[in-house]
C-alpha cells in the first residue's frame, strides 16, 4: 500500500510567520506533527510519503503514486483541504481524512471516502481492521479519550528538518478550563492526559538523534493542566537538557495561573523554556466572565505577565474583541493593556464561533449565527452578529492592530518588555542567527522606516542588557511580519 499523507496550506496569519522565515532560510514555522504521529500508527509494511503543501507543491505524479491519500487539517486549512480532495478524487484515489476540520464539519467535505475522526489512537485501528477485512465504513468516530501513554513517536524521517523554523512535540492533551469560544474540550476533553516522563524524554531523544537542534514547541492545549505531573516531568527534562548541553530552546501554551506557581516557573526556566503563549483575551472582566474564563477574571493579568517575564519567559498573548460585554471602550483598553504590559507578540483577533463550541450553540439558539467560520480570526471576517455592530467592531479591531503594530508603539513595547525580562534560557548563537542579524541590519536598519528605532534598540540592548540581545533582534524581525499582517487586515473589507 502506497500511502500519501498531505498537509494542506494554511493562510497568512500571525501564526504563519511567513514574512520573516526568509531571515532564517526556512519555508514554514511548524511541521505537521499530527500526520507524522498518524504515520507511525499505520502498518509498517506500507510505503509512506508526506507532502506539506506549505513547503512544496503537491504534484500529479505524487497523487498518481498513491493508493490512498490521508489528509489531516485544522479548520483554518479547510479551503486548501477541499482543493486537495478534489484533485485526488479526479485521479480516482481513496481519500481518508481526520483532524479538527473534519471532526466538527465532516458533512462539508463530500469527496472524502472515509472519515477517521476524533483521536486517532481510538478510531484509526478500527478503520485499519475493517480495511484489512475489505469493508471499511464511511465514518469512524468515538467519544472515548485514549491513554496517550500508548501514542507512538512521530515518524520524523518523513520531513526535512531544514524546511522548518521549529520542531514540535506533544506532552499532554486536554484542558481543565471550559472557555465558551474554545473547541479544545470538544477535541480533547477537560481532563488533561499526559505522557510519562520516560515517554516524552524518549520522544525528545529521538528528535535529537534525528539531528534537530534549536527551538522546540510543546504543542499542548494547556501545558500546565496537571501541574504536579508537569513538575515530575520537568525534573527529568532538566536532567536530559543538562546532559546534552541544552540543545533545545522550549516554548509552549499555558493558562495565566502559571504566574501563581513560582516552583513551576522556575522549573520551566531551568528546563530552558524561553516563551509561553497565554490566552489573555481581554482586560474587560465582564467579558471574561461572559466567556467563562474565570481563571483570568479573578487575577491581576498585568501582574501575571510581569511575573512570568521576571521568571525568564517571554509572554506571547492571545487577545479577542467582539464579546457581548465589549463596548466601544474595549479598543483603547486592549491597546493600553498590551502597551503597558510589554506583550510584544500580541495576537489580536475577532471573536469567531468555532463549530460545536458552547459559543456556537448559544449564538445559533439566539439566531445570531450567520455562517461557517473561516477558522482565521485575523482575516476580518465574522460568522455571527455582534452586539456592538459589525462596522464598529471591525473598525475598532483594525485600529488596535494599526496602533500596536505601528513602529513607534511596537518598539516602545519591546523596550517595556526588556526592562522587565530576566532571561535565563541557554541559547547557542549559530551561523543561521548571525545571518538573520545581518539580514535584519539591511532590511530594517537600512531600508525600513523603523531604522532609527531599530538602531536605538540594538545599541541600547547591546550595551545595557546583553543577555536580551538575541530576543531584541528576533522581535525587531518579527515586527516586519506583524506589520504586513496588519496591512493585509486593513485592506480587507
Cα separation of 289 and 341, whole Å?
22
- Give the pTM: 0.96
CA triple 401-313-26, angle to 5 deg? 65
280 close to 247: Cβ distance less than 8 angstroms: no
How confident is the model at residue 74, as a pLDDT?
A: 95
**DSSP characters for 273-303?**
EEEEEEEEE-S-HHHHHHTT-HHHHTS-HHH
pLDDT at 493: 60
CA distance 384 to 294: 24
Strands (E), 27-151: 47-52, 68-72, 94-98, 114-116, 139-140
Please give the angle made by the CA atoms of 336, 178 and 32, to the nearest 5 degrees: 85
Which of 338, 488, 475 is CA-nearest to residue 411?
Answer: 475
SS (H, E, C) 150-188: HCCCCCHHHCCHHHECCEEECCEECCCCCCCCCCHHHHH
In sequence order, the 6+-apart residues with CB closer than 8 A to the CB of 406 are: none
- β-strand 193-194 against 172-173: which pairing, if any? antiparallel
The mean pLDDT values, 10 residues at a time, for the chain of 493 residues are: 97 87 95 98 98 98 98 96 98 97 95 98 98 97 96 98 98 96 94 98 98 97 97 98 98 98 98 98 98 96 97 97 98 98 97 95 97 80 94 96 97 96 90 94 95 97 95 96 92 74
Pairing of strands 273-281, 248-254: parallel
Q: Which residue is listed with cell 532560510?
A: 25
Taking the C-alpha atoms of residue 378 and residue 486, their distance in angstroms, rounded to an integer, is 9
Q: How many CB atoms lie within 10 A of CB 492?
A: 11
Q: For residues 320-354, b (16+ Cβ closer than 10 Å) or e, as one string?
A: bbbbbbbeeebbebbbebbbebbbbbbbbbbbbbb
* CATH pick for 148-420 out of 3.50.50.60, 3.40.50.1820, 3.80.30.20, 1.10.357.10: 3.80.30.20
Pick the CATH number of 2-140 from 3.40.50.280, 3.30.70.260, 3.90.650.10, 3.60.21.10: 3.40.50.280
Amino acid at each position: 500500500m502506497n500511502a500519501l499523507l498531505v498537509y494542506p496550506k494554511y493562510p497568512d496569519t500571525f501564526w504563519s510567520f511567513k514574512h520573516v522565515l526568509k531571515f532564517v532560510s526556512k519555508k514554514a514555522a511548524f511541521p505537521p506533527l499530527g500526520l507524522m504521529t498518524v504515520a507511525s500508527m499505520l502498518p509498517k509494511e506500507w510505503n509512506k510519503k508526506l507532502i506539506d503543501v506549505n513547503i512544496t507543491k503537491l504534484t500529479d505524479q505524487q497523487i498518481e503514486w498513491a493508493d490512498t491519500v490521508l489528509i489531516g487539517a485544522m479548520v483554518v486549512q479547510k479551503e486548501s483541504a477541499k482543493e486537495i480532495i478534489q484533485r485526488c478524487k479526479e485521479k480516482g484515489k481513496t481519500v481518508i481524512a481526520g483532524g479538527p476540520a473534519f471532526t466538527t464539519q465532516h458533512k462539508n467535505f463530500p469527496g472524502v471516502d472515509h472519515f477517521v475522526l476524533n483521536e486517532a489512537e481510538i478510531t484509526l485501528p478500527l478503520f485499519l481492521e475493517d480495511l484489512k477485512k475489505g469493508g471499511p465504513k464511511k465514518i469512524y468516530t468515538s467519544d472515548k479519550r485514549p491513554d496517550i501513554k500508548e501514542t507512538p513517536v512521530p515518524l520524523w524521517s518523513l520531513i526535512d528538518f531544514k524546511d522548518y523554523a521549529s520542531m514540535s512535540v506533544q506532552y499532554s492533551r486536554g484542558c481543565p478550563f471550559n472557555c465558551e469560544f474554545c473547541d479544545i474540550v470538544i477535541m480533547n476533553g477537560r481532563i488533561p492526559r499526559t505522557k510519562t516522563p520516560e515517554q516524552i524524554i524518549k520522544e525528545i531523544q529521538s528528535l535529537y538523534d534525528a539531528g534537530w537542534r534549536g527551538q522546540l514547541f510543546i504543542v499542548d492545549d494547556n501545558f500546565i493542566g496537571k501541574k504536579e505531573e508537569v513538575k515530575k516531568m520537568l525534573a527529568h527534562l532538566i536532567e536530559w537538557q543538562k546532559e546534552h548541553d541544552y540543545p533545545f530552546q522550549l516554548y509552549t501554551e499555558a493558562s495565566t495561573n502559571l504566574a501563581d506557581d513560582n516552583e513551576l516557573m522556575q522549573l520551566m526556566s531551568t528546563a530552558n523554556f524561553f516563551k509561553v503563549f497565554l490566552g489573555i483575551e481581554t482586560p474587560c472582566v465582564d467579558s471574561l466572565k461572559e466567556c467563562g474564563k474565570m481563571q483570568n477574571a479573578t487575577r491581576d493579568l498585568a501582574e501575571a505577565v510581569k511575573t512570568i517575564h521576571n521568571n525568564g519567559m517571554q509572554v506571547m498573548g492571545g487577545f479577542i474583541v467582539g464579546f457581548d460585554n465589549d463596548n466601544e471602550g474595549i479598543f483603547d483598553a486592549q491597546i493600553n493593556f498590551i502597551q503597558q504590559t510589554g506583550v510584544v507578540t500580541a495576537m489580536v483577533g475577532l471573536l469567531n464561533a468555532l463549530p460545536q463550541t458552547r459559543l456556537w450553540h448559544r449564538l445559533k439558539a439566539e439566531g445570531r449565527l450567520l455562517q461557517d467560520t473561516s477558522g482565521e480570526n485575523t482575516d476580518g471576517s465574522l460568522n455571527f452578529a455582534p452586539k456592538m455592530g459589525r462596522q464598529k467592531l471591525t473598525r475598532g479591531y483594525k485600529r488596535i492592530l494599526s496602533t500596536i503594530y505601528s513602529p513607534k508603539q511596537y518598539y516602545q513595547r519591546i523596550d517595556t518588555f526588556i526592562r522587565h525580562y530576566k532571561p535565563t534560557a541557554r541559547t547557542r548563537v549559530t551561523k543561521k542567527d548571525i545571518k538573520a542579524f545581518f539580514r535584519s541590519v539591511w532590511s530594517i536598519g537600512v531600508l525600513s522606516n523603523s531604522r532609527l528605532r531599530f538602531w536605538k534598540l540594538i545599541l541600547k540592548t547591546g550595551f545595557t542588557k546583553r543577555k536580551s540581545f538575541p530576543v531584541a533582534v528576533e522581535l525587531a524581525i518579527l515586527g516586519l511580519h506583524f506589520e504586513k499582517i496588519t496591512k493585509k487586515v486593513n485592506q480587507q473589507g
